[in-house]
Structure 1
Amino acid sequence: MRKNTIHIIDSPYYEHIYGSKEMSQVFDSRRRYQRWLDIESTLAKVQADLGIIPREAAEEINKKAKLELLDEDFIRKQLALTGHSLMPLLKAVQKVCDKGLGEYIHYGPTTQDIQDTSAVLELRDATNIIAKGLIETEKLLLPLAEKYASFPMVGRTHNQHGLPITLGLKFAGWAAEIRRDIERLKDMSKRLFVIMLHGGTGTMAGLGDKSYETVEALAAALKLKMPATGWGSSRDSFAEYQNVLGVICGTVSRISNEIYQLSRTEINELHEPLGTEYVGSSTMAHKRNAEKCAMNVAVCRIVINNASLGMQSMMSEHERDTRAWRIDWHSLAESSVMTARALETLNNIVSGLDINENAIVANLEKLRGLLFSEAVMFYLAEKLGKLTAHEAVHGAAMRAQKEGLHFKEALLQDPKISGHVTADELDHIMEYSRHIGTSVRQVTDVINVAKALSTTDKELSA
């Protein structure tokens, strides 16, 4: 029988909305304990190689530091009794080691060394998963951008129809932002994936005369970098991770929300894909609600807000402050799991995106030619001057909206304008394909930038 759950990301009913099985495995409690034990075992090997502890001790520790060999009831009881997060685990290993060789486990480091190094390893795995999701999003968006590079649609500003853009340009804008998020992960990784093994106050004194050799060897074994100094009370790298996730979820929520908005009944241009068993409403059977998009925005808002927790954990005191890094235990895991979920959901949406081309074309004509106000103004500016032309076109536009006229009709009826432009000239001006600006070139540029930068994407899985 499944254990009762409290957090929504672990809910057996709603984890498909809030949680990611792949990411949850990274932060699984048992896996975390084993990761701590693995770091201790690797440290013992390093210290044996350097002649710091007996080889026999390192071998025994590596043999017995397996969670399945330990008395978990003992660990739980000791956690409650001691209030210490690591000592019960170490004592459990000591109990199963023969010849008293368990005395050599955790020989020199402090608790936070093990737990922070473990957290870095968790975040490395988490970053790989998030990067994989972002790269998949980009791969889904770029073909759509290319396919619709010159397909005109309404560009909207302040929730109103503005000027024509292309659907491909919209997709390209999303893809460009996703690519920037991928590059942020690469840049962040240079600072984040470093070891922590500097002891109680950061001097490495507990590791003895071979402290640097020990830390450097352990870092190499774990494939982490050696920092210039300890960072027990410096939480900036973890805060950066959470802020980068906040930015990523800002991107994901923007895309999800845009699809959500464009699925409105009166717009009807983009829709998330529907399953065969989809139900939009318990009462209104006709509803086609953008449920996945809506939930994605909600999930992303949690991650965005968690970024502030990362910043708060930076406010630590002196050389060590448990209050700071205990916050990370909550927010790092939650943000990672929810970001992975948001990307999984977004990729599901984009991979089956329902594009209503007929509605996109029809919406271009909703303002009956008014989308060409700027183009007409610049055409007339050559004859009337820019400010005079703007005033005249503005008057015709207001009259067209008030009296329900087509913009072309209002222009030709205006005595300030009619003598300077013919019906045929207006027909020529009012071709949507003539007013998409550099949309096609921008799409091409986005594709080329993505291709060039993707050559170093392998850094994220190294």
Structure 2
Amino acid sequence: MIQVSPFDSGLYQTLLSDTEAGLWLNDQAQLSAMLKVEGELAMAQAEAGLIPADAAAAIAAAAASLIPDPASLAAGTASAGVPVPALVKALKDVLPAEQARWVHFGATSQDIVDTALILNCRELIALHESRIRALIGALADLAEAHRNTLIAGRTRTQQAVPMSFGFKVAQWLSPLLRQLERLEELKPRLLKTQLGGAVGTLAAMGDKADLSGQILARRLDLACGSNWHTQRDALVELSGWLGLSTGALGKMAQDWLLMSQTEVGEIRFSNGGGSSTMPQKCNPVNAEIILAMARQNAGLVGQMHQAMLHEHERSGSSWAQEWLVLPQQLMATAVALRHGLEALQFIEINAPCMLRNLGAFNGVIYAEAATFELARSMPRDQAAQLLKDACQQAIAGDEHLFKIVARLSGVQLDVAQMQQRLLGDGATGVWLDTLLQQAHALR
């Protein structure tokens, strides 16, 4: 078999792929899902009175036991542009002619492929959801453990004001809670059957069409989707959800990379990869791969939007675009989540280093807090100008900001009191408590 993508590579499978997700994305998973749809369609049509019950039972039994070799269907897939005709022939070949004639009755290839895709997507988003929940739990524990650990808050890569490291962790956690909400909203629109026949009218099934479709949906535990051959919005919405999920993880991973730089040293991953020539290195591999998956998914979202551009009642090219794009996104999301969970098992927090970094440049990071403290006893503009002058002196010299402020204003400021005030009382503390309660409720 030709291997082009690292997702399919034996060499990269542990780094850039995911075994659990692969169970629902490989050829056999797709063929098994298609056969399940064919078998359940026959049973639904029999229950609706459209085809003989004995034929339906035989078709369902054959579909459940048939394990076709994907390679044996390759030529037929290339000829038809879709695997279903070759798969239907293989199914018919194991049945008597009188029963085989009822296989795939009134359906079209896209009905089978799309419904099979939804069955496998259901398993994959369940995997994603379970990992997001586990990640939320791990982040909630980390945030709670470090809600009183001081760290430099940074804006535009520069130190801004001190804050709680627990608050920073909560910023990683918060979008994941919203992703669970979005997923619940998406599921009713996504988890539905496709059954439209040649052009979506199900004309070949006559007056049994609606009932057959409803029964099929019930048997597959999906919503009855009727025809959405050219209405791909739910799949594009799924693509967007996958992009948002890896985007949220990518923001977290990028913070990890910056915080674990040697010169910063605020966190470290004890499972980091080494170097062939630099034995001192401990590379944050998990974070690197998460960020790569986030970038990959961000680009693929746009390609999925291209797949909405179907001509008339069905498109071969836009449909094939989905086959190229969506599996990559489903896999990339699983990979990013797995690396996130693994990284959090090995993360080491260097609180003393966080505190040490706060002291860089003679305490100028406390300038904003000091300004508002001085504004209690003088006009705000005057306080701001005084701190601006004090910061310039602190950066240029070796005197702490608060000593300079005391000399210029006569106001004594205490670093420990200032730190305690900046840890996130008030509205920040309430927000953090609420977020952690939401996270713990998911356990």
Per the TM superposition, whether the score is higher than 0.5 is yes
User: For residues 67 and 307 of structure 1, do their structure 2 counterparts lie closer, same or farther at Cα, with a shift above 3 Å needed?
Assistant: farther
**How far apart are the structure 2 equivalents of 1:14 and 1:315?**
34
Look up the match of 2:143: 145
1:69 offset after TM fit, Å?
Answer: 5.7
The yes-or-no answer on 1:444 pairing with 2:433 is yes
Look up the match of 2:184: 186
User: For residues 4 and 163 of structure 1, do their structure 2 counterparts lie closer, same or farther at Cα, with a shift above 3 Å needed?
Assistant: same
Aligned mate of 2:365, from 367, 371, 376: 371
Contact 2:269 2:282 in 1 (8 A): no
User: For residues 69 and 120 of structure 1, do their structure 2 counterparts lie closer, same or farther at Cα, with a shift above 3 Å needed?
Assistant: closer
User: For residues 291 and 71 of structure 1, do their structure 2 counterparts lie closer, same or farther at Cα, with a shift above 3 Å needed?
Assistant: closer
Q: Read off the aligned partner of 2:270 and give its amino acid letter.
A: P
1:320 offset after TM fit, Å?
Answer: 1.1
Look up the match of 1:431: 418
1:42-441, aligned counterparts within 5 Å?
Answer: 42-66=40-64, 68=66, 70=68, 75-227=73-225, 230-274=227-271, 278-279=273-274, 281-414=275-408, 417-418=409-410, 421=411, 425-427=412-414, 431-438=418-425, 439-441=428-430
**How far apart are the structure 2 equivalents of 1:430 and 1:70?**
72
Look up the match of 2:7: 9
User: What do residues 34-69 of structure 1 show as CA deviations (whole Å, max 9, x unaligned)?
Assistant: 211111111111112222111221122123225746
Q: Read off the aligned partner of 1:162 and give its amino acid letter.
A: A
Contact 1:396 1:410 in 2 (8 A): yes
User: What do residues 172-199 of structure 1 show as CA deviations (whole Å, max 9, x unaligned)?
Assistant: 1211121111111111112111111011
Helix, strand or coil: the match of 1:426? coil
In the alignment, structure 2 segments of 5+ residues that lack a partner are none
Contact 2:137 2:440 in 1 (8 A): no
Helix, strand or coil: the match of 2:399? coil
| Deviation larger for 437-446 or 21-30 | 437-446
User: For residues 4 and 362 of structure 1, do their structure 2 counterparts lie closer, same or farther at Cα, with a shift above 3 Å needed?
Assistant: same
**How far apart are the structure 1 equivalents of 2:61 and 2:162?**
68
User: What do residues 201-251 of structure 1 show as CA deviations (whole Å, max 9, x unaligned)?
Assistant: 221212211111000000000011123x52110111000001110000001
Helix, strand or coil: the match of 2:154? strand
**How far apart are the structure 2 equivalents of 1:180 and 1:35?**
30
Please report the RMSD computed on the Cα atoms of aligned residues, expressed in angstroms. Answer: 1.9
User: What do residues 283-319 of structure 1 show as CA deviations (whole Å, max 9, x unaligned)?
Assistant: 2221222122112211221112111111111111222
Helix, strand or coil: the match of 1:104? coil
User: What do residues 247-290 of structure 1 show as CA deviations (whole Å, max 9, x unaligned)?
Assistant: 00001111111111100111101112326xx42x2222212221
Q: Read off the aligned partner of 1:64 and give its amino acid letter.
A: A
Contact 1:156 1:163 in 2 (8 A): yes
1:84 offset after TM fit, Å?
Answer: 4.4
User: For residues 387 and 209 of structure 1, do their structure 2 counterparts lie closer, same or farther at Cα, with a shift above 3 Å needed?
Assistant: same
The yes-or-no answer on 1:23 pairing with 2:18 is no
Contact 1:94 1:100 in 2 (8 A): no
1:72 offset after TM fit, Å?
Answer: 6.1
Give the share of equivalent positions with the same residue, in percent: 27
Helix, strand or coil: the match of 1:161? strand
In the alignment, structure 1 segments of 5+ residues that lack a partner are 456-462
| Deviation larger for 46-55 or 80-89 | 80-89
User: For residues 50 and 149 of structure 1, do their structure 2 counterparts lie closer, same or farther at Cα, with a shift above 3 Å needed?
Assistant: same
| Deviation larger for 110-119 or 49-58 | 49-58
**How far apart are the structure 1 equivalents of 2:440 and 2:279?**
45
User: What do residues 124-164 of structure 1 show as CA deviations (whole Å, max 9, x unaligned)?
Assistant: 11110000110000010111111111221111111111111
Look up the match of 1:36: 34
**How far apart are the structure 2 equivalents of 1:81 and 1:441?**
62
**How far apart are the structure 2 equivalents of 1:52 and 1:244?**
39
| Deviation larger for 72-81 or 140-149 | 72-81
Helix, strand or coil: the match of 1:382? coil
Q: Read off the aligned partner of 1:403 and give its amino acid letter.
A: G
User: What do residues 398-455 of structure 1 show as CA deviations (whole Å, max 9, x unaligned)?
Assistant: 11111232112322333xx23xx1xxx3126753112223343332111123345x38
Helix, strand or coil: the match of 1:320? coil
User: For residues 451 and 282 of structure 1, do their structure 2 counterparts lie closer, same or farther at Cα, with a shift above 3 Å needed?
Assistant: closer
